[in-house]
C-alpha cells in the first residue's frame, strides 16, 4: 500500500536524493549545480527575468503571426464543414487531420499555379490581355545596319526577366500558345528570296516541315491563324485552300476550304464554294449550310439564310429563327437586331427586350459590333 508523505518528509527525501546525485557527478559539475541552485534563490525558483530578456515581437512578426493564425483557423473551420457534409452523406466522419492535410495540399497547388500562370492584365470584364504566354513574349530589336547605314530590326522572344531567349531573326512573330508560335522567315539563296511562315517551339526549333506562303489573294490576312483557347488547332493557308494544323506541326484537317475561322468552343466556321457551315475538330460538318455564318460568341453564332439573320447554338441547332435583316454578335447576353429601319435588342431566347422601333440610332448600339453589317 502506498504511503502518504508529509511536506517536510518530501523535502527531506528530495534533499537526500540531491546529495546522492552530487556524489555520482564528475569533478567540476558539482560546483556548477551548486552555483545554479544559488542563482535560483533561497526559494528554489529560477528568476527568468534575471537571466534572459524576453524577445519583443515587431510589427512584421505580429502581422505574420496573425496571418498564420487566420490561415490555420480557416483551414480548420473548412475541414469541420467538410467533415460535417461527409457525415450527412455517408454517416461517418473522417479523421480531421486528414482533411486538413488535403486542404493544405490543394492550397499549395493553387498557389503554385497562380505564380506559374501567364501574367494577365484585366482590361474590362470581357477582355483580358496576355502579356506572357508559355512564359515568352515577342520583342522587336535592332540587330544591325545595312551598308548604307539603315538600321535592321527583327523579331524574337524574351522571357519574364527581359532576357532574349530566341534570337531576333524573324520578320514577324506571333504569340506563343501551347508551347508553339508562328514566325515569318525570309531567306535569300542564289538571288532567290523565300518568304514563308512556319511553326517553332520554345527553343526556336521548327515543329514539322510545313511552310506557309503569303499570296495576294489573302489581301491583308496572314497565311496562318492563331491557336484557339480550348482547341489546339490553327487554320493555315496551303495551295489556295484552308485547313488546320496541330501543335506538332502536322496537318490535322486537310486544306479543303475556301475560307476558315478560329476554333471556338470546339467549332470553327468554314466556307466551301458558296456555302458556309461549322466543323468540329475532326473536320466533320456540325451544322446546316448557310449563305453566311459568324464566329461563336457566348455560345451563339449568327447565321444568314434567305437574306435573313438568326442564331444557332454550339450544338449546331437553330436557337433563334432567321428573321432579321441584320444582327450583332451576342454581348453580355444581348444582341442588337435590325429589321428595315427599325432597331431592337434581343436576349438569348430571341425575346425582344427593346422592341423594334424606327430610330435613327439607338444608344446601346455602342456596345455591339456592327462593322460587318450589310
On whether both 80 and 131 belong to a single domain, the answer is no
**Mean pLDDT computed over every residue of the chain:** 83
pLDDT at 37: 47
Q: Show Cβ contacts of residue 87 under 8 Å, excluding neighbours closer than 6 positions.
A: 93
Domain boundary among 257, 285, 313: 285
Mean pLDDT to the nearest integer, 202-228 = 92
Calculate mean pLDDT across residues 304-319.
Answer: 95
Quote the pLDDT of residue 167. 96
- Say whether pLDDT at 16 is over 60: no
Residues 110 and 132 in one domain: no
Percent above pLDDT 90 for the chain: 50
Q: What's the total number of domains in the chain?
A: 2
In this structure, is residue 56 part of a structural domain?
A: no
- In this structure, the answer to whether residues 243 and 99 fall within a common structural domain is no
152 in any annotated domain: yes
Inside any domain, residue 19: no
Q: What is the pLDDT of residues 272-292, one digit of tens each?
A: 999 999 999 999 999 999 999
Residue 122 pLDDT > 50: no
Q: For residue 120, what pLDDT is reported?
A: 47
**What pLDDT is attached to residue 121?**
44
Question: Nearest CA to 198 among 186, 207, 187, 189?
Answer: 207
Residues 84 and 97 in one domain: yes
Indicate whether 30 pLDDT > 70: no
Query: What's the confidence (pLDDT) of residue 4?
Result: 54
Q: Are 172 and 240 contained in the same domain?
A: yes
- Same domain, residue pair 275 and 127: yes
- Reply yes or no on whether the pLDDT at 39 is more than 70: no
pLDDT at 293 over 80: yes
On whether both 97 and 210 belong to a single domain, the answer is no
Same domain? For 222 and 167 the reply is yes
Question: How large is the average pLDDT for residues 11-32?
Answer: 51
Q: What is the pLDDT of residues 134-186, one digit of tens each?
A: 689 999 999 999 999 999 999 999 998 889 999 999 999 999 999 999 999 99
Q: What's residue 130's pLDDT?
A: 58
Structural domain boundaries, residue 107: 63-117
| Phi/psi of residue 88, nearest 5 degrees | -65, -35
pLDDT above 70 coverage of the chain, percent: 78
In the predicted model, what is the mean pLDDT of residues 44-63? 61
Q: Is residue 179 part of a domain?
A: yes
Confidence (pLDDT) at 125: 43
Q: Check whether 52 has a pLDDT greater than 50.
A: no
Is 255 inside a domain boundary? yes
Q: What are phi and psi of 89, to 5 degrees?
A: -85, -50
pLDDT over 70 at 2, yes or no: no
Pair 67, 104 in one domain: yes
Is 237 found in the same domain as 156? yes
The pLDDT value given to residue 67: 87
pLDDT at 312 over 80: yes
pLDDT at 11: 53
Domain stops at, among 81, 96, 117: 117
Kindly state whether residues 170 and 281 are assigned to the same domain.
Answer: yes
- Answer yes or no: is 312 within a domain: no
pLDDT of 157 reads 96
Asked, for residue 339, whether it belongs to a domain, the answer is no
81 in a structural domain: yes
More confident residue, 38 or 208: 208
Residue 258 and residue 161 share a domain: yes
Cα distances (Å, whole numbers) of residue 144 to 125, 169, 329: 42, 11, 46
Average pLDDT over residues 30-57: 50
| Residue at which a domain ends, from 234, 250, 285 | 285
Amino acid at each position: 500500500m502506498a504511503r502518504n508523505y508529509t511536506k517536510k518528509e518530501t523535502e527531506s527525501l528530495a534533499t537526500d536524493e540531491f546529495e546522492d546525485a552530487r556524489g555520482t557527478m564528475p569533478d567540476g559539475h558539482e560546483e556548477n549545480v551548486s552555483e545554479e541552485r544559488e542563482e535560483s534563490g533561497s526559494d528554489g525558483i529560477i528568476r527568468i527575468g534575471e537571466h534572459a530578456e524576453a524577445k519583443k515581437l515587431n510589427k512584421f512578426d505580429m502581422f505574420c503571426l496573425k496571418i498564420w493564425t487566420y490561415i490555420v483557423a480557416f483551414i480548420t473551420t473548412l475541414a469541420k464543414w467538410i467533415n460535417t457534409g461527409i457525415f450527412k452523406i455517408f454517416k461517418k466522419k473522417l479523421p480531421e487531420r486528414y482533411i486538413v492535410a488535403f486542404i493544405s495540399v490543394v492550397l499549395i497547388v493553387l498557389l503554385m499555379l497562380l505564380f506559374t500562370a501567364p501574367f494577365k492584365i484585366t482590361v474590362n470584364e470581357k477582355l483580358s490581355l496576355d502579356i506572357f504566354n508559355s512564359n515568352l513574349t515577342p520583342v522587336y530589336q535592332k540587330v544591325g545596319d545595312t551598308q548604307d547605314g539603315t538600321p535592321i530590326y527583327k523579331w524574337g522572344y524574351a522571357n519574364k526577366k527581359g532576357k532574349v531567349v530566341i534570337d531576333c531573326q524573324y520578320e514577324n512573330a506571333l504569340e506563343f500558345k501551347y508551347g508553339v508560335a508562328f514566325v515569318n522567315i525570309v531567306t535569300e539563296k542564289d538571288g532567290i528570296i523565300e518568304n514563308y511562315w512556319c511553326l517553332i517551339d520554345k527553343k526556336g526549333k521548327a515543329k514539322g516541315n510545313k511552310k506557309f506562303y503569303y499570296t495576294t489573294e489573302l489581301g491583308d490576312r496572314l497565311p496562318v491563324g492563331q491557336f484557339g483557347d480550348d482547341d489546339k488547332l490553327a487554320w493555315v493557308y496551303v495551295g489556295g485552300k484552308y485547313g488546320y494544323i496541330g501543335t506538332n506541326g502536322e496537318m490535322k484537317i486537310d486544306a479543303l476550304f475556301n475560307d476558315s475561322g478560329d476554333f471556338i468552343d470546339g467549332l470553327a466556321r468554314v466556307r466551301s464554294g458558296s456555302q458556309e457551315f461549322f466543323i468540329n475538330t475532326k473536320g466533320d460538318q456540325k451544322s446546316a449550310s448557310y449563305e453566311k455564318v459568324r464566329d461563336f460568341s457566348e455560345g451563339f453564332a449568327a447565321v444568314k439564310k434567305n437574306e435573313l439573320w438568326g442564331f444557332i447554338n454550339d450544338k449546331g441547332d437553330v436557337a433563334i429563327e432567321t428573321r432579321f435583316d441584320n444582327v450583332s454578335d451576342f454581348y453580355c447576353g444581348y444582341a442588337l437586331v435590325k429589321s428595315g429601319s427599325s432597331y431592337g435588342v434581343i436576349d438569348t431566347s430571341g425575346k425582344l427586350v427593346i422592341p423594334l422601333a424606327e430610330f435613327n440610332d439607338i444608344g446601346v448600339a455602342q456596345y455591339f459590333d456592327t462593322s460587318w453589317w450589310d
